[in-house]
Amino acid sequence: MFRKDVDLFTFILSSILIFSSSGFLNLPLNAQTETNNISAEDYDKIKNCSKDLRKKPTPVEYLTYFNCGHVSRDESGRTVRQFTLIVEENQKIPISYEGHFFDAWTFNGTVPGPTIRVTEGDLVGIRVINSNENEHPHSLHMHSVHFAKNDGVSMGGYPGGAISPGRSFTYEFIAQPYGVYPYHCHVDPIADHINRGLYGMMIIDPREPRPQMTEMAMLLNGYDLNYDQEGPTHLPPVAQFAGSQPDDIDANNTGSTEEMETNETATVANNTEGTDSNQTSTMANMTHLSAPSTSKDDGEEEAEGEERDNEIYTVNGKAFEYMMHPIVLQTGKPYRAYVVNMLEFDLVNSFHIHGAMYDYIAAGTKEKSDYKTDIVTFSQGDRGIMEFTYDYPGTYMFHAHQAEFTDLGWMGLFDVRGNPVNLPSFN
């Protein structure tokens, strides 16, 4: 009995010790205070945050334009960052030096939209205003971790899933985890809302700053200039559910509630009137019967039987921008590029630099590089961080490694100045 009590005592004591130590290890706030002794204001200076939150950066300025929002603190001392994104349709954006203009939909007047920059743990509010003059609903879907109601998708009937013209919605979330992310409108047909220009980059910085170096944002995109003639203009509402909720579509097909549910879905997702619902449910049934596992994209392609193409490819919105304005670098200095691929219609894009290698951090979710390379291939929405240093002066190209993209605008130059460093010795 006594022996058992001792055992019990030992067990309780060790449990307390384990609990205490694990509790200590799991105190990120304490750890943050100890290691991160930099104020939000000083950190924002290091980040090169712009003081002009209303700026419409040119493609050259876009490279170093970081919008860190209107900064305040809540009662607990947490940093709060508020952003406003205004969606405007009918924008004419110059996208080449040969007179091409794009009939764009924009966040704050530019394609891509502003680079949103926050720190992990910040409370972020992004108010999206869909201008009165617009004809379409829009939303904001930012990648990263957040509640469904702030996901910018109409699937669950959330008000932030489709903001009508003249209305606004504020998306709120605690920024996590650190990394580099795309944001974009998620209203159907998504390919069109993206191709029209409603996208941008969001950087969530780690609480502990990365090693300090000159930073730039590079967003890869393309333009389908004859969008009026091509591609989907309307996605059958029920087909949306075929991709994500197969059980629901089965129920619709067998039950007598089919019409009602179709109408509900149509109202939320696409504002389709009742008279259209017969057509759409028929289309959905056909899709379902012919290809049970049909995804939304497959459905679009089948419905139209066409291919969509980009005629112009760019980094930061304008073809050959950094051929016309080479980016000046210094030998021996480290640089960091945040790269996001928002190219629609082409399944892959890539980023190749000449004359140097870069450390690559996939999705930016680690502090250390995953590997060293001079080319990374991106699928749609893919992104990462590149860190590099040039040893030798000279003019070096950077470009997609797909020759077609290069020829159609996705090419730029680094103008590297200074004395050679790290010259190898072969003796």
User: Which residue lies nearer to Cu ion by CB, 198 or 376?
Assistant: 198
Residue 143 neighbours by CB distance under 10 Å? 18
CB 64 to Cu ion: min, Å: 27
User: Which residue lies nearer to Cu ion by CB, 34 or 135?
Assistant: 135
d(CA 89, CA 108): 11
Among 124, 128, 162, 187, binds Cu ion (CB under 5 A): 187
d(CA 282, CA 406): 43
CB 136 to Cu ion: min, Å: 6
Q: Which amino acid would we find at residue 203?
A: I
User: Which residue lies nearer to Cu ion by CB, 117 or 193?
Assistant: 193
Among 143, 146, 184, 193, binds Cu ion (CB under 5 A): 193
Residues 19-78 that bind Cu ion (CB under 5 A): none
Q: Which region among 25-33, 36-44, 96-104, 195-203 touches Cu ion (by CB under 5 A)?
A: 195-203
Is 162 an interacting residue with respect to Cu ion (CB under 5 A)?
A: no
Q: Are 393 and 418 spatial neighbours (Cβ–Cβ below 8 Å)?
A: yes
CB 138 to Cu ion: min, Å: 3
User: Which residue lies nearer to Cu ion by CB, 193 or 308?
Assistant: 193
CB 134 to Cu ion: min, Å: 9
Residue 7 φ/ψ, nearest 5 degrees: -60, -45
| Cis before 112? omega within 30 | yes
User: Which residue lies nearer to Cu ion by CB, 68 or 126?
Assistant: 126
Q: Which region among 171-179, 181-189, 210-218, 283-291 touches Cu ion (by CB under 5 A)?
A: 181-189
Q: Which region among 48-56, 93-101, 144-152, 182-190 touches Cu ion (by CB under 5 A)?
A: 182-190
d(CA 259, CA 265): 10
Residue in the block written with tokens 């460093």: 421
Is 336 an interacting residue with respect to Cu ion (CB under 5 A)?
A: no
| Bridge partners for 91 per DSSP | 104
Q: Are 185 and 104 spatial neighbours (Cβ–Cβ below 8 Å)?
A: no
d(CA 163, CA 154): 10
Residue in the block written with tokens 């980009």: 310
User: Which residue lies nearer to Cu ion by CB, 162 or 353?
Assistant: 162
Residues 109-148 that bind Cu ion (CB under 5 A): 138
Both tokens of residue 249?
């579509």
Strand blocks (E) in 147-213 = 168-174, 179-184, 199-205
Taking Cα atoms as reference points, which of 150, 141, 127 lies closest to residue 194? 141
Q: Which region among 4-12, 178-186, 207-215, 235-243 touches Cu ion (by CB under 5 A)?
A: 178-186
User: Which residue lies nearer to Cu ion by CB, 192 or 321?
Assistant: 192
Residue in the block written with tokens 């100045």: 417
Q: Which region among 23-31, 56-64, 72-80, 185-193 touches Cu ion (by CB under 5 A)?
A: 185-193
Among 68, 126, 185, 238, binds Cu ion (CB under 5 A): 185
CB 137 to Cu ion: min, Å: 7
Number of residues that bind Cu ion (CB under 5 A): 5
User: Which residue lies nearer to Cu ion by CB, 157 or 394?
Assistant: 157
CB 102 to Cu ion: min, Å: 15
The angle subtended at Cα 39 by Cα 34 and Cα 41, nearest 5°, is 165
User: Which residue lies nearer to Cu ion by CB, 104 or 242?
Assistant: 104
Binding mask 198-217 for Cu ion (x = CB under 5 A): x-------------------
Residue in the block written with tokens 């419905």: 303
d(CA 383, CA 43): 23
User: Which residue lies nearer to Cu ion by CB, 81 or 193?
Assistant: 193
Q: Which amino acid would we find at residue 343?
A: L
Q: Which residue is nearest to Cu ion (CB)?
A: 185
The dihedral of CA 96, 102, 106, 108: what is its sign?
positive
d(CA 238, CA 245): 10
Interface ranges with Cu ion (CB under 5 A): 138, 185, 187, 193, 198
